[in-house]
Amino acid sequence: MSDNNIHVRTRLKAKKVCDILIRYYGKAVSVRKLPPLDELVMTILSQHTNDTNMLRAFEALKERYSTWEEVLEAPQEEVALFIRSSGMYNLKAKRIQAALREIKERVGSLDLSLLKDMELQEAKQWLASLHGVGPKTAAIVLLFSFGRPVLPVDTHVWRVTKRLGLIEENISREKAHELLEEIMPRDCIPSLNNNLVRHGREVCRAQNPKCDECFLSHLCQYYTTFK
Ligand code: SF4
């Protein structure tokens, strides 16, 4: 079978997966509507930690500093002290300040509103080229703060879509971002992160996935291969 046929089949399967997820979990768009800089800092803080520790660190920062400008101007060790609960705090303080500094240098102020109307691909590249900001963080800011149709590939999205056979087992997360956005129907993408994360937490768990209860099993490569 040609690459083109495989691609068409994968797209058809992606559409079926999207439709079924929407039928079971709904079409709620993943929007937190935090200001984009808050979302950006929060996502940097969330690296390699859980939501509770990340939120504790984020709240400590917001309590200590009134503006992101103040965070930028503060000594790095001081910022690190306030975000200790998130772990890897020296590195995260450095990344947060570097990203803020770069935004200020590029835009002239600490303002990301230019991303609202920027061409989507360009907006992703713009954000992902900031120090310490990868494709997942860029996608989170664009999706959650601006409601733009992008798919952050976190650990749940990555695992579930690999098991379903929508992407290959050995694909990198960076490549998975590109491929999944290419094969998924446009109108499904805004709700897809919500739905795949929910499915990954509740059914397609990392250990012992509940395949016998799964409404996607008839489409799932893992299920048809191993069950
Ligand atoms: S059938 Fe099993 S492996 Fe496949 S998506 Fe469902 S829970 Fe995950």
Instruction: Give me the DSSP letters along the chain.
Output: --HHHHHHHHHHHHHHHHHHHHHHH----------HHHHHHHHHHTTTS-HHHHHHHHHHHHHH-SSHHHHHHS-HHHHHHHTGGGSSHHHHHHHHHHHHHHHHHHHSSS--GGGTTS-HHHHHHHHHTSTT--HHHHHHIIIIIH--S-----HHHHHHHHHHTSS-TT--HHHHHHHHHHHS-GGGHHHHHHHHHHHHHHTS-SSS--GGG-TTGGG-HHHHHH-
Same domain, yes or no, for 107 and 206?
A: no
Same domain, yes or no, for 140 and 81?
A: yes
- Residue of minimum CA distance from atom 4 in ligand 1: 220
CA atoms within 13 A on the CB side of 104: 13
Q: How many domains does the chain have?
A: 2
Same domain, yes or no, for 89 and 119?
A: yes
CA atoms within 13 A on the CB side of 115: 28
User: Model's pTM, two decimal places?
Assistant: 0.85
18-37 average pLDDT score? 87
Atom of ligand 1 nearest to the CA of 223: 1
Same domain, yes or no, for 10 and 54?
A: no
pLDDT(81) > 90:
yes
pLDDT(2) > 80:
no
137-160 average pLDDT score? 92
The residue from 121, 146, 171 where one domain ends is: 146
Same domain, yes or no, for 219 and 120?
A: no
Same domain, yes or no, for 64 and 158?
A: no
pLDDT, averaged across the chain: 92
Rounded CA gap, 216 and 227, in Å? 13
Q: CB–CB of 45/54 below 8 Å?
A: yes
Q: CB–CB of 166/17 below 8 Å?
A: yes
- Residue of minimum CA distance from atom 1 in ligand 1: 217
216: Cβ below 6 Å to ligand 1?
A: yes
Q: Which of 69-73, 76-80, 94-98, 128-132 has the lowest mean pLDDT?
A: 128-132
80: Cβ below 6 Å to ligand 1?
A: no
Same domain, yes or no, for 96 and 128?
A: yes
The residue from 146, 176, 202 where one domain ends is: 146
Same domain, yes or no, for 56 and 86?
A: yes
Q: How far is CA 102 from CA 96, 110, 208, in A?
A: 10, 9, 43
Question: Tens digits of per-residue pLDDT, 165-207?
Answer: 999 999 888 889 889 988 999 888 888 999 999 999 999 999 9
The residue from 146, 169, 190 where one domain ends is: 146
Report the amino acid identity of residue 86: S
110 CA distance to ligand 1 middle (Å) = 43
Same domain, yes or no, for 43 and 139?
A: yes
Rounded CA gap, 223 and 227, in Å? 5
Same domain, yes or no, for 168 and 216?
A: yes
Same domain, yes or no, for 118 and 20?
A: no
Same domain, yes or no, for 18 and 116?
A: no
Ligand 1 pocket, mutate which of 201, 205, 214, 227 (most atoms under 8 A from CB): 214
* pLDDT at position 106: 96
119-132 average pLDDT score? 93
> 205 lies in which domain range?
3-29+152-226
* pLDDT at position 30: 63
- What are the two backbone dihedrals, phi and then psi, of residue 204, each rounded to the nearest 5 degrees? -90, 60
Which of left, alpha, beta for 28 (phi over 0: left; psi -120 to 50: alpha)?
beta
**CATH number for the domain including 16?**
1.10.1670.10
214: Cβ below 6 Å to ligand 1?
A: yes
